[in-house]
Structure 1
Amino acid sequence: MYAEIKELLFQPNAFFTRKAGAGINLVPPAIIVLIVSIANFLSPYVGNYLSPRVSGPVTVIWPLDSFLITVLGPFIAWILISGILYVLCRWFSGTGTFMATLQNTGYCVLPLTIFTVIMLIGNMAAVQFMAIPYAMVFEVTLGVVLLSFLFTIWSGDLLTFALEKTHAITHVHAIVAVVIAAVLLFILYVIIIPLLPYLLLHLFRSF
């Protein structure tokens, strides 16, 4: 298991070459995505249950929509990204299947999963043992943003090798597919989804 994880993270070309000749197994990538869901679910409890300032039980209230987004969001994103990448790779005359794309996209989430777990552990340590001085908030925030960017690039790099081997396309086409998918997801999550309530409200008022 350790050897396979190491190969995925540091020798993605060899890893996905081997996966291209094997059967589809969605269990390992599903576990990788599940860890992200669990970490997201546990995050709100860190400050409430581990802080030395909290002496009694604390209830964390989850609105249903927030709970579903937190728990199911990583799986929805996994399927959505896989669908976009599959369409783009077929556009580049790729030969792989959607299920193979889904499997290998899930594997590529591993760096982001590692980052999510690191952030959860870091929050637990900060709440339990120390408080961040106000003067260092900017530096810590910048460090987290840079670390997030690096792990995202790492996942994107793995994804280019995954698409190249899964769909038998050139590495350049794989990079283009990843960049296009990233831009589309940015537009969706940063622009369209935040504006969706206002658009729906305007639509209902028009009736």
Structure 2
Amino acid sequence: MKSAPASFLPAHDGPPHPLWLRTTHWLNALAVLIMAMSGWRIYNASPLFDFTFPADITLGGWLGGALQWHFAGMWLLVLNGLLYLGLGLVTGRLARRLFPVTPRGVLDDTRRALAGRLDHSDPRRYNQVQRAAYLFAILALVLTVLSGLAVWKSVQFPTLRELFGGYDAARRVHFYGMAALVAFAAGHVGMAVLVPRSLLAMISGGPRPPHCDKESAS
């Protein structure tokens, strides 16, 4: 009997976090950090609002240097992000881990989380709050990249610029997208502190399923 393709394997087969996922995860984290810190320096050169970011938490030293860091982070984020999404779709991991998700399910799991009754014992299973958060982060990332392209290449992509409501509106969308990603990252780090095994699993790959250990030993 032929073995099932990877995209149809049940969610509990294999380690919770394979090597490709861990690699792209940490590269994405690095890229977002570079782009956020350099973006804050770029923002300071022409603030949208009545505040600026402290120089100590920005990257680049000056506008030109910040732009260089921002573009470097952009290419890392886009290429690595495409690799992550591509492998996630090919292996079926995105469909298994992020769906289904429903408003009722998110609400129920939010109540369980607030009551301290949400189960985190199996890193292979994402609750509906996690699924919604990851989907939100992916959407925010796509909007941030597209709005950034509209700001960076405003003349070359006038249609994209107008879809965002003009150059200034695209800058605001880009800022809000960045803020959403930073908020997601902060929540992500907070969950790692509350559930340390999730951080260890993202470093080591996590424990192998019992049936896989038995097969390896036989």
| TM-score higher than 0.5 | no
Give the number of the structure with larger relative contact order, counting CA–CA contacts within 8 Å between residues 6 or more apart: 1
> Structure 1-normalised TM-score?
0.29
| Higher percent of residues as helix | 1
